[in-house]
Structure 1
Amino acid sequence: MRIVVSGGGTGGHIYPALATVNRLKEIDPATEVLYIGGERGLEKEIVPKAGIDFKAIEIQGFDRSISLNNFKTVYLFLTGTAKAKKMLKAFKPDVVVGTGGYVSGPVLYAAQLLKIPTVIHEQNSVVGVTNKFLARKADKVGVAFPDAISAFKPGQAVEVGNPRAQEVVDGKGEFNWSELGLDGNVPTVLVFGGSQGALKLNAAMVQAMPQFNQAHYQVIFATGKKRYEEVQADLSEQNIQPAGNVAVVPYIGNMPQLMPKVALVVGRAGATSIAEQTALGKPMVLIPSPYVTNDHQTKNAQSLVDAKAAKMVTESELSGTTLFDAINEIMVDDNLRADMAENAKKFGVPDAADEFIDLIKSVIK
């Protein structure tokens, strides 16, 4: 198979694409892949390091207000489409797959103009602008949230989960608890706001630290690399010393090894994080970011709340008290935690990469 993949801007679009490519190459090492990304997106750094052929085009998104900059956006879309057509003609793919982000727009549009089969993947419960545009001519759509199916033409969209989930479920290796000074036999909560951390979540954790210090379970609090010193200063200023059951760290480098071991995950409601956690069957306390397009994280979280797999604390409600109460309610009730875990498993798709690959293969002529 010869396949072109495009998606970028954020890890939420890049990692599902990489998971799909990695699984394709496991199934058939002869698979030839070209990844077309943006000049300024994270994919320009991440994809080549993964050993995948990469080409870039310049692209940008529309300003939501009236702006002269939108004329440049249209220009870049047209020139990007022209460049993508040349790349596709040279590579001759059997199928072109888009995982979202502005860069997938001109690439898949070029493929559609050239009558090459196209498949898109929508990670969120609210469909992105680019995928809405591309869906008009796409052959098939894979979605992670069943709520998104109704946004597409009847029969076009299929629930496949998020391919990134399969990588986490298949993750190899053990987690070394001694690195954190914790005991792997004690139920543990993992709290993190992403690689950069989340300011209000960190502040709430500092406020709640005295209560966590007295808990009969463990807490791993990943502050984010850039915010670690700030959190340490806040703890010191308030004369708070984390107890032996609490580990405060900048980040977790081996998250795929840790995630299967924890009892509860607390953090944002991004599509990739949710896919990983549901595939593993993890109860969740979700604090959706209010700073994302169409407030899609709140809608992602609500899907899990409706499935009784998660509790949600909005950022406007977030405090040390509300955060501790939400976590503690789950951690002191083994039956509740087990029920939430079972519901999360029902929501998750642990073999999502295989499901999405089957969908891709179904459109190849």
Structure 2
Amino acid sequence: MRVVLAGGGTAGHIEPALALADALRRMDPSVRITCLGTERGLETSLVPQRGYELALIPPVPLPRTLTPRLLAVPGRLNSAINTAAAVLDRVGADILVGFGGYVATPGYLAARRRNVPIIVHEANPKPGLANKLGARFTEHVAVSHQDSPLPHARFVGIPIRQQIAQLDRLAIGDKARSYFGLDADLPTLLVFGGSQGARSLNRAAVSAAQAFRANGVQVLHIVGKKNTEEAPPGRPGEPQYVTIPYCDRMDLAYAAADLAMCRAGAMTCAELSAVGLPAAYVPLPIGNGEQALNAQPIVEGGGGLIVEDGALTPEWIVHNVIPILRDAEAVARMSEAAARMGHRDADVKLAQMVFEVVRARRGGQS
């Protein structure tokens, strides 16, 4: 079976695609997988690192509003569609699975032109333009929100890495804290804002460093590669405030923590709920409000709390985050609630959907 994945641009599109690729390979090692991407996206590093073929197409960022840039879209889009169609022809694609973003649009249009079956995966509660388009071309639509407005939606969740999906936080908690140089017995807050960090989270957390120490809370803070925030040094014997620019072992970071304070991207919410790590979610204040919608079901289910970016202050942390960390029973209740909202097997469900569609197509052609 030959599968083409269209999920380039951001990690939110690429990681679910790669998680699906891994699941397909586990279920059938003979599956041939090709990822569509552009030279601008994170896929240029992430896809080869995971051992998958990357086929580049011209980037065609589609403006969301009527602007003069729309005049340049038809020619550039047609070039990208032709290139994507050539990839489908070269690999003899049996199916294209798209995850949204600007790589998916030419992928969907090329697949339709070549009569290649399409599966659309939508990770967000509000579908983007690409997936709204793709959903018009197929009855096979996988979603991660039960009330998705897309037609033919089938709930599967968001595929996540096996390293995260199989994580047993409690079993490796001591090892994980040792890995980061943390105390094994103190309540631990994990602060992170994505690969680039989040300035408002960084400022508020660092400003609350003394309050954390005074309340016996240690902090693991991933500040982002381009940020230089450092908590003021504590006195000997006080709980630690560890800052690191980047973490390539988020499984261990999750295992080390009792509570997270973070943004509310779709992948972040999916991973935290899958491993049962409660969080104080601080949705990104720009965009269409989808980050708040991502976190809302988890918060309503008791697996976290939410605060607007502008309301995140050291004082808010003192009154809302620290009391949870000092209450082991509250942490346990929230962890169980978060885990109830998680889906560790979304990659397998989506892979099964791929096999179903291809088998049905082949059966219909026999």
Same structural fold, with TM-score higher than 0.5 when normalized by the shorter chain? yes
Query: 1:83 — aligned with what?
Result: 83
Task: Mark the CA change 1:80 to 1:158 in structure 2 (over 3 Å): closer, same or farther.
Answer: same
Confirm or deny: 8 A CA contact 2:217 2:322 kept in the other structure. Answer: no
Query: 1:104 — aligned with what?
Result: 104
Task: Mark the CA change 1:5 to 1:268 in structure 2 (over 3 Å): closer, same or farther.
Answer: same
Confirm or deny: 8 A CA contact 1:165 1:352 kept in the other structure. Answer: no
Return the offset for 1:299.
Answer: 1.4
Return the offset for 1:124.
Answer: 1.3
| Higher mean displacement: 197-206 or 54-63 | 54-63
Confirm or deny: 8 A CA contact 2:177 2:256 kept in the other structure. Answer: no
Return the offset for 1:130.
Answer: 0.8
Confirm or deny: 8 A CA contact 2:95 2:116 kept in the other structure. Answer: yes
**Letter matched to residue 4 of structure 1:** V
Query: 1:50 & 1:352 partners in 2: Cα distance?
Result: 19
Task: Mark the CA change 1:92 to 1:356 in structure 2 (over 3 Å): closer, same or farther.
Answer: same
Query: 1:255 — aligned with what?
Result: 250
Return the offset for 1:70.
Answer: 1.7
Secondary structure in structure 1 of the residue aligned to 2:208:
helix
Query: 2:176 & 2:303 partners in 1: Cα distance?
Result: 28
Which is bigger in relative contact order (C-alpha 8 A, separation at least 6)? 1
Query: 1:122 & 1:325 partners in 2: Cα distance?
Result: 36
Q: Is residue 172 of structure 2 the alignment partner of residue 163 of structure 1?
A: no
Q: Is residue 356 of structure 2 the alignment partner of residue 362 of structure 1?
A: yes
Q: TM-score, normalised by structure 2?
A: 0.90
Describe how 1:176-325 pairs up with structure 2 within 5 A. Answer: 176-228=176-228, 231-232=229-230, 235=231, 243-292=238-287, 294-325=288-319
Query: 1:330 & 1:297 partners in 2: Cα distance?
Result: 23
Describe how 1:127-138 pairs up with structure 2 within 5 A. Answer: 127-138=127-138
Return the offset for 1:114.
Answer: 2.0
| Higher mean displacement: 164-173 or 267-276 | 164-173
Return the offset for 1:165.
Answer: 5.2
Q: TM-score, normalised by structure 1?
A: 0.91
| Higher mean displacement: 110-119 or 242-251 | 242-251
Task: Mark the CA change 1:142 to 1:241 in structure 2 (over 3 Å): closer, same or farther.
Answer: farther
Query: 1:152 — aligned with what?
Result: 150
Secondary structure in structure 2 of the residue aligned to 1:88:
helix
Query: 1:118 — aligned with what?
Result: 118
Stretches of structure 2 lacking an aligned partner (at least 5 in a row): 362-366
Task: Mark the CA change 1:17 to 1:157 in structure 2 (over 3 Å): closer, same or farther.
Answer: same
Confirm or deny: 8 A CA contact 1:309 1:341 kept in the other structure. Answer: yes
**Letter matched to residue 162 of structure 1:** I
**Letter matched to residue 152 of structure 1:** L
Secondary structure in structure 1 of the residue aligned to 2:93:
coil
Task: Mark the CA change 1:171 to 1:347 in structure 2 (over 3 Å): closer, same or farther.
Answer: closer
Return the offset for 1:13.
Answer: 0.4
Query: 2:339 & 2:189 partners in 1: Cα distance?
Result: 18
CA RMSD after TM alignment: 2.1
Query: 1:321 & 1:194 partners in 2: Cα distance?
Result: 23
Stretches of structure 1 lacking an aligned partner (at least 5 in a row): none
Query: 2:200 & 2:234 partners in 1: Cα distance?
Result: 18
Secondary structure in structure 1 of the residue aligned to 2:289:
helix
User: What fraction of aligned residue pairs are identical, expressed as a percent?
Assistant: 33
Secondary structure in structure 1 of the residue aligned to 2:309:
coil
Task: Mark the CA change 1:335 to 1:81 in structure 2 (over 3 Å): closer, same or farther.
Answer: same
Return the offset for 1:74.
Answer: 2.7
Secondary structure in structure 2 of the residue aligned to 1:164:
coil
